[in-house]
Amino acid sequence: MGGVHIAEALKIPYFRAFTMTWSRTRAYPHAFAVPEHKMGGNYNYMTYVLFDQVFWRGTAGQINRWRRDTLGLPSTSLDRMEPHKIPFLYNFSPVVVPPPLDWPEWIRITGYWFLDDASVGAKKWTPPPDLLDFIESAKKAKKKVVYIGFGSIVVSDPKVMTSCVVEAVVQSGVYAILSKGWSDRLVKSAADAPDTVEPLPKQIYSISSIPHDWLFKRIDAACHHGGAGTTGASLRAGIPTIIKPFFGDQFFWADRVEALGIGSAVRNLTVQSLTDALLSATTDQRQIERAKAVGEQIRAENGVADRLQGNEDLWIALQVLPEERPAIGV
């Protein structure tokens, strides 16, 4: 987090924009310290204090050398920087993470910052004709369509994971669009399959990558790793979201999805746990309606506009803050 030190050297205002909770509160735990069961406000607050301490102890020597040698600043300390007083703009929805009552006025949740109709280079994405045929065939068969993709994660046994996912899809009776980030060995048909790899069943369509904003509004549910951006995309689409977290803030977003009743967290990936989650996401009308309502609220937000207003509000606040606080740029 070098920005705060650069801002101090340049004597300019500073704030952080972030995708996960990083400011002390009793309402939620730190995004990197989410317990399997709720531990209460004291635990939540202490996770931020402890994370600040651990992070600073691991980087203090390097940071202070850089401050002295490069920025021409004296050494600093965690107490002097007061990281819990740094202004933040959080680019997720207040519907998904309601603003805690114990956050000060210099912390704002703006809503998601979506990049609509983005193009790669000068060419927008065009869906393969057989993908459109696959989605249409599911509708004709009156089957729900689910996206399953866990990003480019590294797993110890991709074949076992693939087998688990395929079996869960078959048992749940859904059609699945499978983004094969964890394994490049998936195939679409027997003609393409090596002798050691079984072909995917007809109710699974495999694709290397696909724009979420194109796909999610055309399907019934999404199952993914719980990255902040992917979670925002599936919630915006108004579809139930299944999250299998692997590390970092993914556990936080899995917890929020469950707390809101708009999806499931699959912390231990097994055929049964994924089958249950797929069935819930595609048949539980209460979950489906809640996800739809959250999606409508998110689509009504304008996170970018609120972010600009947040910048203006922070600038106004600078005029009344003490001058002896340059270390955090505010």
Q: Give residue 225's pLDDT.
A: 96
Q: Write out pLDDT tens, residues 1-35.
A: 789 999 999 998 888 899 999 999 999 999 999 99
Determine whether domain 129-299 maps to CATH 3.30.110.40.
Answer: no
Closest listed residue to residue 250, CA positions, set 280, 235, 229:
229
Q: Write out pLDDT tens, residues 44-54.
A: 999 999 999 99
Write down the mean pLDDT value for the chain: 87
Once rounded to an integer, what is the mean pLDDT over residues 71-75?
A: 96
Q: Write out pLDDT tens, residues 102-156.
A: 999 889 999 999 887 655 443 578 999 999 999 999 999 999 999 999 987 777 7
pLDDT > 70: what percent of the chain?
85
Q: How confident is the model at residue 63 (pLDDT cuts 50, 70, 90)?
A: very high
Residue 167 has pLDDT above 70, yes or no: yes
What global pTM score does this model have? Answer: 0.87
Order the strands of the 241-243 sheet from edge to edge.
204-207, 175-179, 145-149, 221-224, 241-243, 263-265
Mention every residue, 6+ apart, whose C-beta is less than 8 A from residue 29. 21, 35, 39, 43, 44, 47, 252
Q: Give residue 181's pLDDT.
A: 73
* Segments making up each domain of the chain, as ranges: 3-112+302-328, 129-299
